[in-house]
Amino acid sequence: MMENLTLKKIRSLLDERKISALELLDFYLKNIKEKNEELNVFLEVFEKDALEQAKLADQILEKGESAPLLGIPIAIKDNILIKGKTASAASKILQNYKAVYNATVVDKLTKQGAVFVGRTNMDEFAMGGSTENSAFGVTKNPHDTTRVSGGSSGGSAAAVAAEMVPASLGTDTGGSVRQPSSFCGVVGLKPTYGRVSRYGIIALGSSLDQVGPIAKTVEDVEILYDVIKGKDTNDQTTIDNKELDDTVKIIGVPKGILDSGVSEEVKNNFNKTITSLSDEGFNVVEVDLPHLKFALNAYYIIMPAEASANLARFDGMRYSVRAGNGEYKEIMSETRKLFGEEVKRRILIGTFVLSSGYVDAYYYKAVALRNKIKEEFNSAFENVDVILTPTAPETAFKIGEKSDPVTMYAADLFTVPANIAGSPALSVPSGISDSGLPFGVQIIAPHYGERKLFSLGKNIEKFR
């Protein structure tokens, strides 16, 4: 009865009292106990708190009252603060840190009655595309445990795919909600930059980060999005609830998007999706985005630069574990040895591109390129309603397969541009490979165009 439940179906079952919130929670907790040892999805399960929240939800439901997420279990990525709970960002340097306040998105979910099941695994400080960079072990793909779940929100995507929760929250800096959603066969949204508050999120790249929902269907993602969106006085980058309509008639496909670095099976799946959309009456046209191919280059300068600034606070004095017993410099040095290799690599790159003599040659040029890419997207959206690409250049790869950082970074080929442009983007499952691995396609819309994503995404779901 409870397998493959959507948020909409759960809401109906709970409101009609066909199941209780406690029974629902028990179903998911049993799945977690059965699967988590192998998959390594949850770093911590809040069983006691979740049971109390579910009991309270049942009391409210008995009174005939309801709310969009009342009694529904939700998983939270380990870089999103929940007061009194550990938020380690999957790093040894924060393994003992307990949040002293709630992230705004957590407050919003709480007001709607969500039940917080636990915190999910991720790449350390959200730096990675495979969840192999976690200090607490890799999260395995529920479709094939020899393969990665994607990253950096790999735990959040795998939790939904493995029936451990019906929905979750992740964060997306360069594809970290969309790529693992594609790898795990679920739906993931990166909202317009500023649409969802970043208050209470452990920052990676402050001009790129966005909180995004992950669920089984586009409709479920839309339900979560409507709960967490909105202006927040604690985050001055948030914006008012301006929204475009959901009209999608013309779909743009970037010229040369499949020319290099894309597997044949991904190409075939993407072309099949385009054919299906054309058959449904959508007008699919080619769009020219000449600087799109440089988005990855700009991203891997801007993101490390912002990361190096954001992670400077973890010095053993203000935040984090404190290592060493000497003077400040020794404490800082010993403490920062606790960072993982990928985090150290990106801090070094970021510090280098911001250093005297190089900031003009690298960082400022990357910012100028970013502005050019934004302009090209804005120009393209004057002629098309949305832009369609594959979500990732390949299906989920094997654990340990991409030991070369440059090869790993190339996996962000299609997802990074939306973060660079600040545009909303949605990954929707688009089929299964011959080896049983999910495909995903990505829809990118103009700023404030989330409704366009949901509209087209629901059409693509019909082709599965």
Please give the Cα distance from 176 to 209 (Å, whole number): 9
Q: Produce one character per residue of 228-252: b if its CB has 16 or more CB atoms within 10 Å, e if not.
A: bbeebeebebbbeeeebebebeebb
Catalytic residue among 20, 35, 77, 149: 77
- Considering 20, 152, 156, 197, which one is annotated as catalytic? 152
> Is 462 labeled as catalytic in the residue annotation?
no
Active site residue 435: no
Closest to 460 measured CA to CA, from 435, 440, 434, 433:
440
Structure tokens belonging to residue 337: 């040895």
Instruction: Choose, from 149, 168, 176, 455, the residue flagged as catalytic.
Output: 176
188 touches 178 (CB < 8 A): yes
Q: What does the buried/exposed string (b/e) look like for 94-110 if buried means 16 or more CB atoms within 10 Å of the residue's CB?
A: bbebebeebbbbbbbbb
Indicate if the alpha-carbon torsion angle 243, 245, 248, 249 is positive or negative: negative
Beta carbons within 10 angstroms of residue 378's beta carbon: 13
Note if 8 is an active site residue. no
User: Mind telling me the catalytic residues?
Assistant: 77, 152, 176
